[in-house]
Amino acid sequence: MKASCKNGHYCSRKIEEETQREELVRKKIKEERKREKINKKIEEKAKKKAKERYESLSKEDFERYLTGYDFYLQCNIGKMNTMSKESYVISALEDEIKEELRELAEGII
């Protein structure tokens, strides 16, 4: 590229700009991969912790998590793939844990 230009300074500046753009793209890709890796770990950790919390829930807490279950059933009347009460509560716990972990991750990243 440099050899084809009459003014070497102009060409070297263009090469430098292109190099900077490429480096920026590499950084963005690296950051996106890091974010995806963190989100995957959050998902896995939340599933595990939700099941652990579910097993240790008191009857009162279980009932508290079920408050939205009736509404969920009404919204999914006639659908074959409705969740069981257990799945619904575990899903609610999982959502809470994901939120907590994402907040923690934001403070670190």
Q: Does the structure show a pLDDT above 90 at 44?
A: yes
**Arithmetic mean of pLDDT, 18-27:** 95
CA distances from 102 to 14, 47, 52, 75 (A): 41, 14, 19, 28
For the chain, what are the domain ranges? 8-108
- Position 51 confidence tier, pLDDT thresholds 50, 70, 90: very high
Cβ–Cβ under 8 Å, residues 98 and 46:
yes
Which pTM does this prediction carry?
A: 0.68
CA distances from 47 to 11, 31, 34 (A): 54, 24, 20
Q: What mean pLDDT, rounded, does the chain reach?
A: 86
Output the six-digit token pair for 83.
């969740």
**Residue labelled with tokens 């959050």:** 42
By mean pLDDT, which of 23-27, 34-38, 83-87 is the weakest?
Answer: 83-87
User: What whole-number percentage of the chain has pLDDT above 90?
Assistant: 53
